């Protein structure tokens, strides 16, 4: 029995390692087109922030460990170009130019996602970067070091854009953020977005949302991002406007695609071909709240899906219930957390959403260091169900969202959520945690 | 309709305020024997730590606000001495020595708890204090200021004892902790207790668990706590060995008492007399995990029960599902959190507990500031149900426990808990949060 895995990052290497633990005799082959496997992509901005650290610090386990300790046939520099479903064979090219072909009994596509490249003139100029893999990180660090970059423009305002803004400010650069559409984080409740915007402005970051980009000019190693009359000079430009699933192999093999072009998989991670699984950023998943398909490329679900594929390849019947859409990031001292649906998503999914927004304190009001904390919470008027929440603030925000994530898996009503016996001590919150205050108010609003 | 409340702290004033919001015409009388109402008892140790702050900072709302803004007939200095159930009347004495008697339609007993006074010779000496109400706080602060206290002995090692130890070390005192039974926190998994012990020792605190106390000697304003050959000198002694419900009124009125002498109430907070409710530290409650009665005197459940009583007095039919036993405290930089049952409690409740204990990191391993975090998690072998968890560590511990608290309300299995879509970003945890790592291991252990 041969288990072939295309892609050696989170989902792929999680599947390989777990399959080995499940079955010491299974033949496991991983085909990775690059040289890096099993690295922490999420840490790239923090690594870039620190000139003392090398990007290779981000390698969690190197290829040798997988080969020697786990007995996984890990082949880096192997680019798969075709999946022949009839012959259960993958074919491709090595980095040296040789061809290879390999039969599989079970196949996992774990090809991840790739950054979206906008159709902007000059986006391919030297000094314009995306932030996706270690090689991108290496190039950015090298550019920062050798060009003595002083100004950066970041195209995009998603969480990677914001994490990179922080990293570059930490490195002493002046940073501008620009994007065509209005609003810093359009999915965030306006009252929760304002403190994020304030934080960025206080750090001297230029915020140019609602600015369509005409072109990136490059002259004598000096870059400029042009939007109408606005000219933003830069020594480097980061493009971080989102990612799109690497679906070309699946598409060419005529596998069903789902939302956003992600490979469609069932709850057991099977594609439309029962011998082929897909997991990680290239695959879709179910949303716990809507029950519908969604595509949320994040690290935990990639790891979890990799495990589930390994279990199912080894004879298991593991079904994943889906994702709650939980996410958290920080930018400077501001933390932003979400789980479940925001108002517009809830409407789109056919719910009748009611939203409350409250401001409370991160600790007991009279405890030193208490900071404002903002919560928005969404419930469904007809069923009373909790649909989602968002939190922003500078103190003890991130882990608070997990109470909501658990409640969403449990399909709790807002009224039930109000009854949660959450922890209280003055250093950690008011007696009624901000989440309970929001839930109590949402319960009232739902009853009206 | 007259709603009479005995006791003007968390449960009592929560009930009074909510009853007023529910019904502007209700006659609400609160009888409080002391002068302080609605204060934050949980903040007393932190206030004592700070010589610049007065204890009156802890008053959340003063009596005048309740009287004038909420129209609540709040009578301080009124000690109730008898509940005459036949005549629906309470009788008592005012602080000035006058008698009063008052008919009620609905009565709430919210008399709280009182510190346990051990039968130790010399426990009534000047300089020996308990920590329960604002008056205790005033006395301790005054003693610290006027006696220039340099050494303290604390009898007890529960969370109030530890919070007081921190407060007195902050004030520059040398502190010893002593208690008769072994183990700092006997309910805490040994592997989780060790870092707490290490923290205390590193702060120079003497830990004398397993030391029965013979007597407290007092000579020329110098105190000594004597245990066999051990003599611990002190300028003040704090006794913090736990609390017991203030049940004497209920007992004398022949109301049913429950666990630990707490007043027995149903899920609607009714005592064995349907016209009389009890809430807060004087009353028992249901445990979410066991379904049995329990007595856990904590602030959130007191506030929540006060609200429920008010709603039920005003015609509602509010039932409280119960408490998960969630609690958190910190001592210096060490945070300790728990929810649900520990192993011994689980056995006692008739479960077949399986415990796993893991050590992980508070942040991604390569993110600056990542600290060890210790999790113990308990599941039931026969049902697969999650029964409880404990967490200790110095970074981002407190709010993590709430994911467990929510799962306990939802009666999740360990296998379900493993599927939680918890938040991940490098500053806030590894990709698999320590809770998920513990749950994954517990799931395996349950399957064996």
The per-residue pLDDT for range A284-300, each reduced to its tens digit, is 999 999 999 999 999 99
CA distance B262 to chain A (A): 20
Would you place residue B442 in the very low, low, confident or very high pLDDT band (cuts 50, 70, 90)? very high
Helices (H), A79-174: 134-147, 159-170
pTM, two decimals, is 0.97
Q: Among all residues of chain A, which has the CA nearest to that of B433?
A: A300
Q: Among all residues of chain B, which has the CA nearest to that of A398?
A: B428
CA distance A37 to chain B (A): 16
| A56 C-beta neighbours (distance < 10 Å), count | 13
Task: Note the pLDDT of residue B332.
Answer: 98
Q: Please tell me whether the interface predicted TM-score (ipTM) of this complex is above 0.90.
A: yes
Q: Among all residues of chain B, which has the CA nearest to that of A298?
A: B424
Query: For residue A37, which of A15, A4, A60 has the smallest C-alpha distance?
Result: A60
Give the model confidence (pLDDT) of A95-151 as tens digits.
999 999 999 999 999 999 999 999 999 999 999 999 999 999 999 999 999 999 999
Asked if residue B59 has pLDDT above 90, the reply is: no
Asked if residue B382 has pLDDT above 90, the reply is: yes
How buried is B231 (Cβ within 10 angstroms: 0-12 exposed, 13-18 middle, 19+ buried)? exposed
Task: Note the pLDDT of residue B443.
Answer: 98
Q: Are strands B222-227 and B106-109 parallel, antiparallel or unpaired?
A: unpaired
- Contact call for residues B303 and B312 (beta carbons, < 8 A): no
Task: Compute the Cα dihedral for A361, A366, A367, A368 and give only its sign.
Answer: positive
Q: Do A406 and B408 make contact, defined as CB atoms within 8 angstroms?
A: no
Q: In what order do the strands lie in the sheet with B276-278?
A: B73-76, B27-32, B2-6, B106-109, B276-278
Using alpha carbons, list the distances in angstroms from residue A317 to A267, B15, B204. Answer: 10, 51, 55
The beta-carbon neighbor of A423 closest among B327, B432, B433 is B327
Chain B hits for A426, CB-CB cut-off 8 Å, are 40, 42-43, 46
The beta-carbon neighbor of A366 closest among B58, B324, B339 is B58
Would you place residue B299 in the very low, low, confident or very high pLDDT band (cuts 50, 70, 90)? very high
Decide if A314 is catalytic.
Answer: no
Chain B hits for A321, CB-CB cut-off 8 Å, are 416, 419
**Cβ–Cβ pairs < 8 A, chains A and B:** 209
Average pLDDT taken over every residue of chain A: 96
Query: For residue A192, which of A398, A397, A391, A400 has the smallest C-alpha distance?
Result: A391
The C-alpha atoms of residue A241 and residue A260 are separated, in whole angstroms, by 15
Beta bridge mates, A327: A338
Give the model confidence (pLDDT) of A173-196 as tens digits.
999 999 999 999 999 999 999 999
* CA angle (A36 as vertex; A30, A42 as ends), nearest 5: 110
- Contact call for residues B126 and B222 (beta carbons, < 8 A): no
Using alpha carbons, list the distances in angstroms from residue B222 to B150, B228, B268. Answer: 11, 19, 50
Chain B hits for A408, CB-CB cut-off 8 Å, are 421
DSSP assigned state of A375? E
Chain B hits for A409, CB-CB cut-off 8 Å, are 410, 412, 416, 419-421
The C-alpha atoms of residue B352 and residue A97 are separated, in whole angstroms, by 60
């Amino acid at each position: 029995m041969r288990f072939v895995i295309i892609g050696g990052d989170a989902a792929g290497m999680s599947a390989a390692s777990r399959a080995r633990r499940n079955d010491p005799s299974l033949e496991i082959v991983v085909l990775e087109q690059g040289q890096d496997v099993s690295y922490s992509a999420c840490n790239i901005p923090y690594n870039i922030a620190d000139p003392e650290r090398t990007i290779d610090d981000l390698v969690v386990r190197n290829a040798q460990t997988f080969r020697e300790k786990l007995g996984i046939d890990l082949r880096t520099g192997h680019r798969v170009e075709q999946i022949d479903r009839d012959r259960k064979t993958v074919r491709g090219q090595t980095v040296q130019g040789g061809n290879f072909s390999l039969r599989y009994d079970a196949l996992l596509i774990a090809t991840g996602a790739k950054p979206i490249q906008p159709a902007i003139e000059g986006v391919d100029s030297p000094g314009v970067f995306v932030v996706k893999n270690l090689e991108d990180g290496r190039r950015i660090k090298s550019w920062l070091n050798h060009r003595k970059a002083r100004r950066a423009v970041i195209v995009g305002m998603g969480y990677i854009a914001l994490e990179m803004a922080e990293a570059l400010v930490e490195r002493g650069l002046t940073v501008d953020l620009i994007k065509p559409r209005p609003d810093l984080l359009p999915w965030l409740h306006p009252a929760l977005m304002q403190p994020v915007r304030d934080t960025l402005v206080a750090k001297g970051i230029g915020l140019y949302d609602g600015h369509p980009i005409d072109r990136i000019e490059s002259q004598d190693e000096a870059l400029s991002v042009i939007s109408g009359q606005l000219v933003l000079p830069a020594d480097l430009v980061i493009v971080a406007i989102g990612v799109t699933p690497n679906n070309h192999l699946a598409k060419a093999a005529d596998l069903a695609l789902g939302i956003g072009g992600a490979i469609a998989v069932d709850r057991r991670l099977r594609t439309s071909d029962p011998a082929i699984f897909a997991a990680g950023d290239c695959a879709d998943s179910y949303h716990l709240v809507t029950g519908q398909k969604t595509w949320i490329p994040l690290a935990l679900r990639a790891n979890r899906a990799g495990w589930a594929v390994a279990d199912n390849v080894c004879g298991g019947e593991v079904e994943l219930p889906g994702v709650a859409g939980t996410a958290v990031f920080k930018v400077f001292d501001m933390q932003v957390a979400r789980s479940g649906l925001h108002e517009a998503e809830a409407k789109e999914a056919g719910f009748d959403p009611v939203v409350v927004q409250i401001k409370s304190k991160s600790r007991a009001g009279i405890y030193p260091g208490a900071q404002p904390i903002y919560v928005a919470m969404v419930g469904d008027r007809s069923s009373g169900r909790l649909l989602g929440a968002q939190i922003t603030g500078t103190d003890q925000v991130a882990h608070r969202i997990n109470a909501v994530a658990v409640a969403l898996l449990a399909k709790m009503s807002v009224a039930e959520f109000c009854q949660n016996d959450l922890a209280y001590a003055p250093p950690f919150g008011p007696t009624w945690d901000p989440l309970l205050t929001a839930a109590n108010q949402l319960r009232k609003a739902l009853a009206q």
